[in-house]
Copies of this chain bind each other. A is one copy, B any other.
Amino acid sequence: MPHRTGLTQRLVAEKALQLVDTHGLDALSLRRLGADLGASPMALYTYFDDRERLLEAVTQLVYAEVSAPVDDAVGPEATVRGILESVRGAFLRHPHVLPLAARYPPRTLDALAFVEAGYRALSRAGVEAAAIARAYRMLAAYSIGSAEIEVNKYFGEHIAAFPSGSLDAPTLERHLPQVAEIGPLLAAQDDAEEFRYGLDLVLDAVLRRAASR
């Protein structure tokens, strides 16, 4: 017997985010989400055309958590840096959503708030529209790639054998001496520190080029 479930797009997406946070992206099935919401899997198609759209909505919820300062009293560089630290924070709180960030850009009003704030800060600093677009693309690439490296512990086991046993220490040392030397340094890096180092570097360069024209 069909009944009203009282669901909305937002409620479904929020429950989905919970599910992803606690059990990972693969655990987000329409069947399981339906069960969590006390509805049939098919009820979800009332709110989302397919699983893809649901994933996109979940991503928007994470973007919406990024803090978007209303003014930039601290100056454009510090404002943009603060926004990007907040982006990193949001995806560290929701690490399983990160793979979706590269697929779905911010689209909703709430999700775009931090983008607007960043644009405004650069605009007030005298950066022209075309240069802002370039800066945003660069910073988006750096943020996404950087967060993925951090969340996936990309350098944590960089020199592991693969297939098992085929790359032992002596072989590595003989054929790839530089990799053997740098590998441990990568594994020992501090994620937060490296993120800031790279962010400063990119931000400095972007603002200097924008100013010198």
**Interface, chain A (partner B; CB < 8 A):** 9, 56-57, 60, 99, 102-103, 105, 107-109, 112-113, 115-116, 119-120, 123, 129-130, 132-134, 136-138, 140-146, 148-149, 152, 154-155, 158-163, 166-167, 171, 175-179, 181-182, 185-186, 189, 194, 197-198, 201-202, 204-206, 209
Contact = CB atoms under 8 A, between A and B. Distances in A.
Contact of A205 (B167, B176, B204): B204
B99 A138 contact: no
Contacts of A161: 107
Central interface residue in A108, A179, A181, A194, by most chain B CB within 10 Å:
A179
B129 A189 contact: no
For the residues of A in contact with B, the DSSP-based class is helix
Q: Please provide the 5 A-B residue pairs with the shortest distance between their CB atoms, ordered closest to farther.
A: A145-B145, A141-B145, A119-B178, A102-B148, A133-B185
Contact of A152 (B103, B116, B204): B103
A176 B112 contact: yes
Contacts of A171: 109
Contacts of A102: 99, 102, 145, 148-149, 152, 154
Given A129-B182, A145-B145, A205-B205, 14 more contacts: A60-B162, A102-B145, A107-B161, A108-B167, A109-B175, A112-B176, A115-B179, A116-B176, A116-B179, A119-B179, A141-B145, A142-B145, A144-B145, A201-B202
Contacts of A103: 152
B181 A129 contact: yes
A195 to B, nearest CB: 9
B9 A163 contact: yes
A137 B198 CA distance: 9
A182 B138 CA distance: 14
